[in-house]
Amino acid sequence: MSGAVLTLAPPVAAALVRGLGRTLRVSVIGAEHVRGLWHSPQPIIYAAWHGQLLMLPFVNERLRRTLGARPVHVLASRSRDGELLARFAARFGFPSVRGSSSRGGAEALRALARALRDGHDVAIAPDGPRGPRGQAQPGAVSLSALSGAPLVPVAFAAHPAWRLATWDAFEVPWPFGRGAVVFGPPIATPSTTDRRLAGRAVEDALGRATAAAERAVGRTTGQWAA
């Protein structure tokens, strides 16, 4: 990957996402679940399916201006692809936490846990980075149990939208369509929690949030998961 790509791709991608977002009519549902946390010292772990991530930096940027949301730290690997992600995220005011998600993700969890200990909100895709789609891997629940920070399920849906032929069915809204972001109630994960059951609870919560987002944009419920 050339230096020109590293220099040019992130600002171009951020400009495209920001421009696309400005054409959408985006509704926000469930802000009451997080507004109190935004104005407290309690850090948050946002959990969103990998295929729904594209517009969330834009949504957070808008909510920081309108509802007092906070910037979110995102995980970026130490690879060139991770550097691209870090530079893209920075365009939306998202600091990056650098760490590898390979070999069980221990380094990534430690990096995110340090950010939480410092009082920063973080975001994680429970089914990332390689899937299976819509199945929560242990990382998000383990991070919540180790840090004491609550998991807040987040879903984004748009209509109409393209769904790419990728493992996560990555969703790209059409311009001038409808979008909705849904925040679910925070999920507490005590250190004594059964991690397998907690993972199912996260999947169920994200399923409910996704269904609510799909209903809000007039899309058939369950279309994303099909």
> Domains in the chain, please, with CATH?
3-216 (3.40.1130.10)
- pTM of the predicted model as reported, rounded to 2 decimal places: 0.91
What is the rounded distance in angstroms from the CA atom of residue 34 to the CA atom of residue 21? 22
Cβ neighbors of 142 (< 8 A, separation 6 or more) are 109, 195
Question: Which of 28-32, 48-52, 217-221 has the least mean pLDDT?
Answer: 217-221
225 exposure class (CB count in 10 Å sphere: 0-12, 13-18, 19+): middle
The pLDDT of 50-62, averaged and rounded, is 95
What is the rounded distance in angstroms from the CA atom of residue 160 to the CA atom of residue 220? 11
Closest CA to 6 of 74, 65, 87: 87
pLDDT digits (tens, 9 = 90+) for 127-178: 977 889 999 988 899 999 999 999 999 999 999 999 999 999 999 999 999 9
Site of tokens 């926000």: 28
